[in-house]
């Protein structure tokens, strides 16, 4: 087994954005995808025309990825990272010091290394809420809790606490940032959750799939009680904590090491309109206006037709992209994908009745 020591570096580097702009079947337990959506609505027709135009431009300019018409209007796929606050709220970088050398493989998928952790194959749906920063953080918490527990014990972290209770994280459905979400996990803890209307966990996700470009969800009020269907009512008794949280240096090899040893990481990048039409291949920005900042989870890497890529999961449901997953150019800090990467480790000592863990 590879043993590693994580050091937190007190200096905080200023990292710049690059302004240039496989898939295994996702599992979404209880997710309502609304299969009866009216495909002939004016919004859907407009989305189809826009997607067709983008797809034609993509075909003419690159063969690395394929675009197509998504199920929902393009504007219903929400972003939600306050990019201007990323650097000022970035956590101190952690440096992974390995006690033995490792040879990183050319291809890596966390789903293959840790098959016991079903959360690695799940894709969540943020709906009409700009909560990508909270959802991708909660996904990474969940993955790492399973990966680092002695018997790969599962605990599905929800995004409710981050959206509704973490005031330092941002403004709920109006957007947030990555660093404070990880710090909140360490300082306050995060409760369990499940998909929309699933009645799973302390709080089910409060929003359904987004169907209208004019629809905007508002974050619910912070609650100290779990939903009545859950076995625990006091939120404080359900919360689980992180032991340490940190940013990962904006270096391709460092990010790969972090994922290989500790599991998926959270990252943010600049989303342009063409990304919303992604279907397959290795995404590189081709056309369309800037939509805003977006947070996702990186769970692996590889090379496709000579192009290096990061393997990522999105939070727009399994009907988007490649069953909810996508690949994006690796090693170029494309659209800032390597500039703001965050990670952390779970804290089992706060739950000794459940776990014993040797740090």
Q: Pull the structure tokens for residue 93.
A: 């970088």
Domain range for 229: 4-13+62-99+108-351
Positive or negative, the CA dihedral 293, 96, 122, 347 is negative
DSSP 8-state symbol, 192: B
Residue 56: inside a domain: no
Domain containing residue 265: CATH number: 3.90.70.10
In this prediction, residue 8 carries a pLDDT of 58
In this prediction, residue 95 carries a pLDDT of 81
In this prediction, residue 97 carries a pLDDT of 80
Nearest-angstrom CA–CA distance, 322 and 26: 9
Residue 215: inside a domain: yes
In this prediction, residue 26 carries a pLDDT of 44
Decide if 132 is catalytic. yes
In this prediction, residue 354 carries a pLDDT of 38
Helices 132-148 and 252-262 meet at what angle, rounded to 10?
50
In this prediction, residue 29 carries a pLDDT of 42
Residue 322: inside a domain: yes
Assign 350 a pLDDT band (cuts: 50, 70, 90).
low
Nearest-angstrom CA–CA distance, 186 and 349: 12
Identified catalytic residue from 132, 202, 210, 312: 132
- Asked if 15 contacts 87 with a C-beta cutoff of 8 angstroms, the reply is yes
As a residue count, the chain comes to 359
Residue 55: inside a domain: no
Query: What pTM does this model have?
Result: 0.87
Q: Pull the structure tokens for residue 32.
A: 């309502």
Average pLDDT over residues 188-206: 94
Assign 165 a pLDDT band (cuts: 50, 70, 90).
very high
Domain count, the chain: 1
If one compares 27 and 332, the residue with the highest pLDDT of the two is 332
Identified catalytic residue from 285, 294, 334, 342: 294
Identified catalytic residue from 82, 125, 314, 333: 314
- Asked if 191 contacts 224 with a C-beta cutoff of 8 angstroms, the reply is no
Average pLDDT over residues 25-50: 55
Nearest-angstrom CA–CA distance, 180 and 193: 20
If one compares 73 and 334, the residue with the highest pLDDT of the two is 334
- Asked if 100 contacts 125 with a C-beta cutoff of 8 angstroms, the reply is no
Share of the chain above pLDDT 70, in %: 84
């Amino acid at each position: 087994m590879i043993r590693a020591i994580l050091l937190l570096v007190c200096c905080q580097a200023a990292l710049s954005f690059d302004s240039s702009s496989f898939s295994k079947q996702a599992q979404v337990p209880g997710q309502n995808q609304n299969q009866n959506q009216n495909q002939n609505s004016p919004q859907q027709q407009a989305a189809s025309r826009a997607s067709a135009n983008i797809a034609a431009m993509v075909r003419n300019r690159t063969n690395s990825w394929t675009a197509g018409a998504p199920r929902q209007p393009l504007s219903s796929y929400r972003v939600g990272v306050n990019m201007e606050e990323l650097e000022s709220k970035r956590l101190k970088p952690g440096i992974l010091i390995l006690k033995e050398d490792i040879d990183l493989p050319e291809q890596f998928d966390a789903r293959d290394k840790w098959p016991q952790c079903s959360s690695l194959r799940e894709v969540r749906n943020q709906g009409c809420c700009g909560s990508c920063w909270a959802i991708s953080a909660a996904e990474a918490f969940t993955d790492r809790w399973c990966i680092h527990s002695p018997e790969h014990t599962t605990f599905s972290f929800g995004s409710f606490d981050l959206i509704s209770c973490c005031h330092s994280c941002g403004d709920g459905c109006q957007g947030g940032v990555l660093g404070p979400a990880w710090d909140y996990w360490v300082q306050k803890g995060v409760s369990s959750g499940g998909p929309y209307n699933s009645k799973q966990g302390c709080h089910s996700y409060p929003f359904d799939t987004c169907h209208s470009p004019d629809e905007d969800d508002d974050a619910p009020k912070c609650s100290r009680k779990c939903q009545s269907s859950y076995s625990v009512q006091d939120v404080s008794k359900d919360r689980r904590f992180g032991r340490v949280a940190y940013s990962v240096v904006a270096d391709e090899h460092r990010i790969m090491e972090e994922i290989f040893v500790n599991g998926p990481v959270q990252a943010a990048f600049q989303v342009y309109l063409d990304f919303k039409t992604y279907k397959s291949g290795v995404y590189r920005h081709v056309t369309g206006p800037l939509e805003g900042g977006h947070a996702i989870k990186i769970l692996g890497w590889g090379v496709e037709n000579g192009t290096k890529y990061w393997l990522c999961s999105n939070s727009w449901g399994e009907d988007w992209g490649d069953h909810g997953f996508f690949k994006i150019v690796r090693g170029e800090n494309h659209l800032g994908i390597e500039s703001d990467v965050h990670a952390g480790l779970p804290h089992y000592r706060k739950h000794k009745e459940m776990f014993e863990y040797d740090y």
